[in-house]
Structure 1
Amino acid sequence: MGADVRPGDRTERGAPRMSEQLLGAEPFFNLVDEGWVPVLDTAGRSREVSLREAFHQADEIVTLTGELPTQSVALLRLLLAVLHRATDGPRQVGHWADVRDDWGGTLEAVDGYLDHFHDRFWLQHPEQPFMQVPDLRTAKDEVFGLSRIVCDGPGTSTFLTTRVGADLDTATWPEAARWLLHAHAYDVSGIHSGGVGDPRVKGGKGYGIGTGWAGQIGAIHLVGETLRDTLLLNLLAPDAVGMQIDVDADLPVWERAPLTVLPEGWHPDDDSGRSYRQPTGPVDLYTWPTRRIRLFGTRERATGVINAQGDRATPQNRFTVESMTAWRYSEPQTKAAGQVTYMPLKHDAARSFWRGLEALLPHTSRPVKPGGPDRRRPPALAAWVAELRTDGHLDDRLLRWRAVGIEYGSNESVFDEIVADEIVLPVALLADRVLAQEAVDAVDAAEKAVYALGSLAQNVALAAGGSPESDGPREQVSVRAYAALDQEFRRWVPTLTASADAAERRASWHRTVLRLVSSLADEVVDAAGPAALVGRTSGGQFRDAGLALHWFRKRVREVLPHARPTGRSGPETEEAA
Structure 2
Amino acid sequence: MGPDEDLVRGAWLPVVGVEGERRETGLLDVLFGADAVRRLDLPVPTMLPAVLRQVLLPVVFDALGLPRTRGEWGERFAQGGFSDQEKEKLADYLGPRYGDRFRLFSERPFAQVAGLSALNGETKPSTLLIPSVASGNNVPLFSALSEADHLDLPPGQAALWLLHAHCWDTAAIKTGAVGDGQAKNGKTTGNPTGPLGQFGVIMPTGRTLYETLLLNTPVRADGLAAGDRPQWAWDERPDSAAAKSPAGPEWSVRPAGGLLDLLTFQSRRIRLMPAETENGLRVRQVVVCAGDRLALTPQEELHTAWNHTAKPKAGQPARRPRRHTPGRAAWQGLGALLALALPLDGDGVYTSQLLRQTGELLDYRQLPGDFALGVEVCGLEYGNQSAVVENAVADSMPLPVASLLADDDWLRTAILECVEQADRVARALDGLHADLRRASGGEPLPRDKGERPSARFLHAVDGRMRRLLAGLRTIGEDYDMLERAREAWEVTLRRAALREADGLLAAVPPRAVVGRTEKVNGKEVVFRSGKAAGLFHKKLGDILTRLADAVPAEGEAA
TM-score bracket, shorter-length normalisation? 0.7 to 0.9
Q: Does 1:424 align with 2:398?
A: yes
CA distance in 2, matches of 1:79, 1:294: 21
Q: Is residue 350 of structure 2 the alignment partner of residue 372 of structure 1? A: no
Whether 2:253 is the aligned partner of 1:276: answer yes
User: Equivalent residues in 2 for 1:398-547 (5 A)?
Assistant: 398-431=372-405, 432-468=408-444, 470=446, 475-496=451-472, 497-501=475-479, 502-539=482-519, 540-547=524-531
Asked whether the equivalents of residues 228 and 260 of structure 2 are also in contact (C-alpha less than 8 Å), the reply is: yes
CA positional deviation for 1:563: 2.5
Deviation at 1:469, TM superposition (A): 6.4
Instruction: Name the residue aligned to 1:307.
Output: 288
8 Å Cα contact 2:252/2:292 also seen in 1: no
Q: After superposition, what is the alpha-carbon deviation per residue over 1:243-297, rounded to whole angstroms, capped at 9, x for unaligned?
A: x8853344321121399xxx97159xxxx9x972211444322211000111222
CA distance 1:264–1:421, change in 2 (3 Å): farther
Equivalent position amino acid for 1:384 in 2: Q
Cα pair 1:325 1:379 within 8 Å, conserved:
yes
Q: Residues of 2 paired with 1:516 and 1:436: CA distance?
A: 24
**Tell me, what secondary structure is at the counterpart of 2:235?**
coil
Tell whether the 8 Å contact from 2:306 to 2:319 is kept in structure 1 after alignment: no
| 1:256 aligned counterpart, secondary structure | helix
Conserved 8 A contact 2:46-2:379: yes
Selected match of 1:255 from 223, 233, 239: 233
Rounded to whole Å, the distance in 2 between the matches of 1:534 and 1:294 is 70
- Equivalent pairs counted in the alignment come to 522
Deviation (angstroms), 1:33: 2.3
Say which of 363, 366, 383 aligns to 2:356: 383
What 5-or-longer segments of structure 1 have no aligned partner? 1-22, 567-577
Post-superposition offset of 1:382: 0.6
Return the match for 1:104 from 58, 75, 84.
84
- In the TM superposition, what is the alpha-carbon distance from 1:163 to its structure 2 partner? 7.1
Who is 2:59 aligned against?
82
Give, in whole Å, the separation in 1 of the partners of 2:68 and 2:373: 23
2:555 match: none
Report the TM-score when normalising by structure 2. 0.85
2:92 & 2:293 partners in 1: Cα distance?
32
Are the structure 2 counterparts of residues 165 and 141 from structure 1 closer, same or farther at C-alpha, using a change threshold of 3 Å? closer
Match in the other structure for 1:14: none
Q: Name 2:544's counterpart in structure 1.
A: 560
Match 1:121 to one of 98, 102, 124: 102
- Encode CA deviations 1:111-159: one digit per residue, 9 max, x unaligned: 1222211122221222x32111113222232222212222332354647
CA gap of 1:55–1:338, structure 2 versus 1, over 3 A, is closer
Q: 1-side partners of 2:126 and 2:450: how far apart?
A: 44
Please tell me whether residue 29 in structure 1 is matched to residue 34 in structure 2.
Answer: no
Q: Aligned equivalents of 1:142 and 1:32: distance in 2?
A: 31
1:542 aligned partner, one-letter code: V
- Is residue 353 of structure 1 aligned with residue 330 of structure 2? yes
2:500 partner SS: helix
- Cα distance in structure 2, aligned partners of 1:54 and 1:163: 33
**Cα 1:472–1:346, aligned 2, differ >3 Å: closer, same or farther?**
closer
Query: Following superposition of structure 1 onto structure 2, how do residues 56-71 of structure 1 map, counting pairs within 5 Å?
Result: 56-71=32-47
Greater Cα shift, 375-384 or 291-300 = 291-300
SS in 2 for 1:91: coil
Cα deviation, 1:30-67, whole Å, max 9, x if unaligned, reads 32122211222345443321111111122332211222
What are the within-5 Å matches in structure 2 for residues 61-210 of structure 1? 61-77=37-53, 78-100=55-77, 101=79, 103-115=83-95, 116-126=97-107, 128-155=108-135, 156=138, 158=140, 168-210=150-192
Query: 1:390 Cα shift?
Result: 1.3
Distance change (3 Å), C-alpha of 1:471 and 1:538: farther
CA distance in 2, matches of 1:452, 1:491: 24
132-141 vs 95-104, greater mean Cα deviation: 95-104
The counterpart of 2:31, out of the listed 55, 60, 67, is: 55
Q: Which of 507, 525, 534 is the equivalent residue of 1:550?
A: 534
CA contact (8 A) 1:31 1:50 kept: yes
Instruction: Specify the SS of the correspondent of 2:226.
Output: helix
State the TM-score, normalized to the length of structure 1: 0.83
Q: Give the drift of 1:499.
A: 2.2
529 and 208 in structure 1: CA distance in 2 versus 1, 3 angstrom threshold: same
Q: Percent identity?
A: 31
Task: Rate the CA distance shift 1:538–1:500 in 2: closer, same or farther, 3 A.
Answer: farther
Partner of 1:13: none
Which range moves more in the overlay, 41-50 or 442-451? 41-50
Cα deviation for residue 385 of structure 1 reads 1.1
- After TM superposition, the structure 1 stretch with the greater mean CA deviation from structure 2, 278-287 or 476-485, is 278-287
Contact preservation (8 Å) 1:27, 1:122: no
Match 2:273 to one of 274, 293, 296 = 296
Work out the CA distance in 2 between the residues paired with 1:387 and 1:221: 16
Does the 8 Å contact 2:125/2:286 carry over to 1? Answer: yes
Are the counterparts in 2 of residues 145 and 170 from structure 1 also a CA contact under 8 Å?
Answer: no
Q: How far off is 1:75 after superposition?
A: 1.2
Check whether the contact 1:511–1:564 (CA below 8 A) recurs between aligned residues. Answer: no
In structure 2, do the counterparts of structure 1 residues 29 and 206 end up closer, same or farther at CA, with 3 Å as the change threshold? same
Which amino acid letter does the alignment assign opposite residue 430 of structure 2? G
CA–CA separation in structure 2 for the residues paired with 1:276 and 1:149: 23
Check the 8 A contact 1:209/1:312 in 2, yes or no.
yes
2:340–2:350: 8 Å Cα contact kept in structure 1? Answer: no
For 2:160 and 2:419, locate their aligned partners in 1 and report how far apart those are by CA, in whole Å. Answer: 37
- Partner deviation per Cα, 1:178-224 (whole Å, 9 max, x = no partner): 11111101111121110123232111111132111122221121232
What SS class does the counterpart of residue 296 from structure 1 fall into? Answer: strand
Q: Provide the secondary structure at the position in 1 that maps to 2:502.
A: helix
321, 337, 340: which one aligns with 2:318: 340
Q: 2: distance between equivalents of 1:386 and 1:426?
A: 10
Deviation at 1:548, TM superposition (A): 0.8
Counterpart residue identity of residue 424, structure 1: P
Q: Specify every segment of 5 or more residues in structure 2 that has no aligned partner in the other structure, as ranges.
A: 551-558
Contact 1:87 1:99 in 2 (8 A): no
Once the two structures are superposed, residues 40-99 of structure 1 have per-residue CA deviations (whole angstroms, 9 ceiling, x without a partner) of: 234544332111111112233221122222223211222011111111112222222333
> What is the root-mean-square deviation of aligned Cα atoms in Å?
3.1
Query: In the TM superposition, what is the alpha-carbon distance from 1:457 to its structure 2 partner?
Result: 1.1
Q: Which residue of 1 aligns with 2:307?
A: 328
8 Å CA contact 1:66–1:72 kept in 2: the answer is yes
Amino acid across the alignment from 1:213: P
Task: Sort the Cα spacing of 1:410 and 1:527 in 2 relative to 1 into closer, same or farther, 3 A.
Answer: same
Q: Provide the C-alpha distance between the structure 2 equivalents of 1:532 and 1:474, rounded to a whole number of angstroms.
A: 21
Task: Report the CA distance between 1:460 and its aligned residue.
Answer: 1.0
- Counterpart of 2:111 in structure 1: which amino acid? M
Q: Distance in 2 between matches of 1:564 and 1:281?
A: 55
Indicate if the aligned counterparts of 2:125 and 2:147 stay in contact, CA closer than 8 A.
no
Letter in 2 for 1:151: P
Aligned to 1:363: 340
